[in-house]
Amino acid sequence: MCAGLSYIYILLLHYFARPVLIVTALFIPVSLGLSAISAFSGSFIYDISNTWGDTIGLRLFSIIPILMALLAARSFLWYISQINGTVGTVQLATSLLLSNIPLLGVSPALLFVALLATLPFISLILRLTLLVYQGHSEWHVRPYAVVLAILVCFIWIWSWCVVRGILRVAAAGVVGAWFFKEYAKFNCFLCTLMTCK
């Protein structure tokens, strides 16, 4: 189920990265502008009190969010080039993942195997904690059993790191194969250009 949700997330990320990033970048100046409008319009309500802070003070305070909104809107133009680069990278990565469906199946398969391999580790740790001796008034776990349980925990965590490394190597292999294939196409293109001259 989690793997299915992550694949849906990758698919949605491929198609909706640009609108989400643009809306997120626009949200800051728009929300600041709405705050300034709300503060300025709220200064004309005289129902509750008619003090200086409720009228003129609120109008003066509304200048701060409108200036910040203008600065954020000005920096949005710089963010557009950053957003285009980010969207290009995200779309390239997701299209690469979606074009290699076996890579998407490697992750749940390896995680399932690692989950099955976890069962002996848990049973061994529980068995080691049952090696006890009776003290004066309570039971104690034998010292060598504690050391062995810690060692088993260390090997268990190490095996999960190995699985994570295998997943990274598989992803890096797919990306490397794609890169060298594109590089070979580009190199052939350059060779054809040079021979045409």
The tens place of each residue's pLDDT in the chain, 197 residues long, gives 666 777 787 778 778 888 888 888 888 889 988 988 888 887 777 655 667 666 777 788 888 888 988 888 888 877 787 888 888 888 888 888 778 878 778 888 888 888 899 999 999 989 988 888 877 778 888 889 889 999 999 999 999 999 889 888 888 888 888 888 877 776 676 677 667 65
Q: Cα(99)–Cα(93) distance, rounded to whole angstroms?
A: 10
pLDDT value, residue 103: 79
Residue with tokens 């039971």: 139
Characterize 11-42 residue by residue with b for buried, 16 or more Cβ atoms within 10 angstroms of its Cβ, and e for exposed. eeebeebeeebeeebeebbeebbebbeebbee
Is residue 134 within 8 Å of residue 53, measured between CB atoms?
Answer: no
pLDDT value, residue 150: 92
DSSP string of 164-190, one letter each residue: HHHHHHHHHHHHHHHHHHHHHHHHHHH
Q: Cα(29)–Cα(195) distance, rounded to whole angstroms?
A: 54
Q: pTM of the predicted model, to two decimals?
A: 0.54
Q: Cα(166)–Cα(32) distance, rounded to whole angstroms?
A: 47
- For residue 153, give the nearest of 185, 173, 134, 128 by alpha carbon: 128
- For residue 76, give the nearest of 112, 28, 121, 36 by alpha carbon: 28
pLDDT value, residue 56: 77
